[in-house]
Amino acid sequence: MQQHRYRSEKKTYSSPFMDGCLLACAFLAFIVAAAPARGVGDSQADSLQPQQILLQTQLRPKSERFHLTIQNVDIKYYPEVSLIVEAVDANGDPLDTLAASDVVVLENGVEKQVLSVRKLTIKERVPVDIVVVLDVTATMQVHINAVRDNITQFIRSLVARGIDYRLALVLFSDVIEKVYPFTNDVNEFVSWVSRVRAWGGFDEKENALEALRQATKLEFRPSANRVAILITDAPYHQRGEHGNGRTDLTTQTAIEMLQRADLRTFCIAPLVLTQYDTIARATRGVMFDIGQPFARILNAYSTQLTNLFAITYRTDLPAIPDSINVAILNQRRQELVRKTIPVVELGRKLIIENLLFETASARLPEHVPELEVLAQFMVNNPRVVIRVEGHTDNRGARWFNKQLSQARAESVKEYLVKKKGIAPNRIQTIGYGDTRPIADNATEFGRALNRRTEVVIISK
């Protein structure tokens, strides 16, 4: 069986440990640089009132010493609105700090007071959909093992930084071997990768461009930042070539395809394969050397984990808008970018905070302001169906936690049905107990975050 020339060269300086560390750190660097939200044509948001309202918000840096990219919006505390932004300096390096005095927010041309600027935390829950596009030919087994061994810690780091993740997987060789749709269960993803056994590789090139095409066809959440992570040690087939893999794509048409899909693509490959760098740069991604040591990657990219900020202001609009049209202006008030971000869409999780239950109890107070807001939303949108998900920390028996979380989800449904008149068939419930933590159960702070109720819009 012929082996890839580039793969043989790579093995002279790579090791399983170095590859595993590289993948873990590279993954973390990718997510902080996730792509901005899509434009008006891609908005599929639910309306939170009968008529559609566009909230035109402009974010203008007072200084040109840094650049801002609006990633998303958080309206959990409406009429307070938080813009989730990526902040980098003139050299493209992430900012360690950003102050309220550094920015000006304009809503419909009217300046609004910035209430706070803070680094992104676990409470923001910014949606990011990640597709791992993985070469599974013979010389890739060490890298496949590295993905399997490091993905869990990677996801924990994402969750700790406020990322509402989903993972998908595309496996390829000369053909598309298998496509796994998005999941929010990292253990399920690990099970997919654990079943992969590298084989084949009968010619030098593989079909990475067709694999990226498959990635663009996955069902992304409308407002999620979209990221593809391509991992390979071989060059790729292009249109007009003869061999085991066939495609009608070229480097340029593949780039155009990825740009249309707004899929920010990061490549882990041998640096001699410069075509991957071309794709990464054109889609606002980065190429990483598949044989580079962990320490070098860590030193270069660890600070990128802290360059997401939440800029919060108060709007005067009486109702939550259907979507938010956001623009960034430079110091001379020149528009740099304008995006329309869906506020609420299918699959978006809304965390109900301050929904306090007594210990080991599922009884709610007589009046819960957060549920009043949720009820009004459902009255304004009579076709919306939601799922109420109950979660606990890990104290106590697992069977009891699952039972308790189900009872608490049912209490929320009962509040909406009996007190607010919402039809019961519009509310599903499930209790997950302690099986889906979003924080470390070893601390009281983490346990408090894990004791939560989430509402997911599943139909509209």
Residues 101 and 219 in one domain: yes
Residues 337 and 411 in one domain: no
Q: Give the per-residue pLDDT at 343.
A: 63
Domain holding 392: CATH number? 3.30.1330.60
Residues 277 and 390 in one domain: no
Residues 243 and 373 in one domain: no
**What is the rounded average pLDDT for all residues in the chain?**
77
Of the residues 329, 345, 361, the one at which a domain ends: 345
Of the pLDDT bands very low, low, confident and very high (cuts 50, 70, 90), residue 338 is low
Residues 291 and 254 in one domain: yes
Residues 314 and 384 in one domain: no
Give the domain extent around 305. 1-345
Residues 38 and 153 in one domain: yes
Domain holding 334: CATH number? 3.40.50.410
Residues 362 and 244 in one domain: no
Place of tokens 């009486």: 318
Residues 306 and 362 in one domain: no
The domain total for the chain is 2
3-state secondary structure 118-176: EECCCCCCEEEEEEEEEECCHHHHHHHHHHHHHHHHHHHHHHHCCEEEEEEEEEECCCE
Of the residues 345, 366, 381, the one at which a domain ends: 345
Q: Give the per-residue pLDDT at 305.
A: 44
Residues 43 and 158 in one domain: yes
Of the residues 314, 345, 376, the one at which a domain ends: 345
pTM of the model: 0.64
Residues 284 and 328 in one domain: yes
* pLDDT per residue as tens digits for the range 426-459: 999 999 999 888 777 888 877 887 888 888 888 8
82: nearest Cα among 315, 350, 328, 265:
315
Residues 321 and 357 in one domain: no
Question: What percentage of the chain carries pLDDT values higher than 90?
Answer: 28
Q: Does position 15 have pLDDT exceeding 60, yes or no?
A: no
Q: Pick the residue with more confidence: 42 or 68?
A: 68
